[in-house]
Amino acid sequence: MSIRKTTRFTAGLPGWAGASALSALLLASTALPGAADEALADLVEEVGPSVVTILATQEATTEPASMKGRGMENHPFGEFFRQFGMPEGMKPGPQGPKQGLGSGFILEEDGLIVTNHHVIDGADTVTVRLADDREFEATIVGADPLTDLAVLQIEADGPLPAVDLGDSDVIRVGEDVVAVGNPFGLSSTVTTGIVSAKGRNISEGPYADFLQTDAAINKGNSGGPLFNMDGEVVGVNSAIYSPTGGSVGLGFAVTSNIVDTIVADLVDDGRVDRGWLGVSIQNVSPDIAAAIGLDGAKGALVSDVVTDSPADGALKSGDVIVSFDGKPVKSSADLPRLVGATKTGTDSKIEVIRNGEPEQVTITIGTHQLAQAQVEPQIDETSGKQMGVTVAPLTDTARAEIGVSKDVSGVVVTSLNQDGAAAKAGLRVGDVIVKLGSQETETPKELKAALKNEKTDPALVLVNRGGNQLFVAVEIA
């Protein structure tokens, strides 16, 4: 309670009565922080043992061929070196193992652990260090780059201290939150703050929903929990905005409700099967709202409907989607998250404004193949050969998304390890890998087999990018 408020409250009291009331109120206000501090300390003591350190190790490698021409842009053969490597005498030596560090938390007593996808992406081994300094090698149950979440499993001697997920929908802006993690390798670091904003879109993909907090989050906090004052996880700390690399009070956490959905899907079969409508959408501007007779700029405007998609015949270009399964669609950013989190095969009720009149349609949600978090063949455990890619089958849906014709066969790249050989060779998300060496790669298993059997290093990879074919040389050993 501020002194200014107290002074106004006691201004009408005469003499010592006013002074006594003021003293009592000031004493009460100074007692409150102590009680709050004690409650915070109790919370940290309770949840601290559930927060873990994640050590992600990438084995020693020789610098990829795609890097061997870096820094030679002005050399007459710079492009040739970039694509196919330098002469033997100019080649760099092997690089030592790389180790990344992040945070995570125990969600189940049997050793189920949640962290960020980017913490373990491209790792050959993942080690989990508990709060009591015990270490366990972890198995990657599944990972989803589109929400930056990953699930690990460790086998301990007995039950582990687990935490519960809270409801991120009910937490309010201004509520106190606590971040626990390992910034800069300093384990069990606790920072406090408030929820600064909800529903943040930080351009990390259409399926993630973020809480913004001013609790200090730094490098190494990634994957760690953001707690409410009941000791429930309301978010997974995933990103910061910083011009300096350090905390400036702008941290972002994937909401616990997204975590709940994604973790359940990954535990089920190791991948995320996202719901799909098959529409192109855009925001409703005030001008568009006025033109179509809407009461305010809200909803998601359907600009196109994909042929033979779930929405084909049910939705039309010009419809404005304002509600999905009873949840409001305030902008176009809301719809992909709501649809993506819906189980495929579900009959969903969608409210639209069509020609100025409200209507309701029911659509059976399909599966978005391109968005599936399919890990194989990111790492070939048998041969140790690695490209650093996540791929999925090339379906009709994927063809429509990336603009390749039906006569193209291959697997589509859904994510890349930015330190991996494929990314450094110039591959992009949405590229179709048609061949590796002389072997066609129509399925993820065929790509894995081609990686295992390829004798040439770097390997010549044929890629289709938006209907155009090109070759790239990728270091695979």
Residues marked as catalytic:
118, 148, 222
Between vectors from CA 377 to CA 461 and to CA 336, what angle results, nearest 5°? 100
Contact between residue 188 and residue 51 where contact means Cβ atoms under 8 Å apart: yes
Closest of 427, 413, 442, 430 to residue 474, by C-alpha:
427
- Residue 142 bridge partners (DSSP): 151
Closest of 417, 411, 415, 329 to residue 371, by C-alpha:
415
Dist. CA 386–CA 378, nearest whole Å: 7
The structure tokens listed for 187 are 């384990």
Contact between residue 213 and residue 178 where contact means Cβ atoms under 8 Å apart: no
The structure tokens listed for 5 are 């408020």
Matching residue, tokens 């200014």: 4
First vs last Cα of the chain: how many Å apart?
Answer: 65
Q: Would you tell me how many other CB atoms lie within 10 Å of the CB of residue 71?
A: 11
Length of the chain: 477
Count Cα atoms within 13 angstroms, Cβ side, for 110: 3
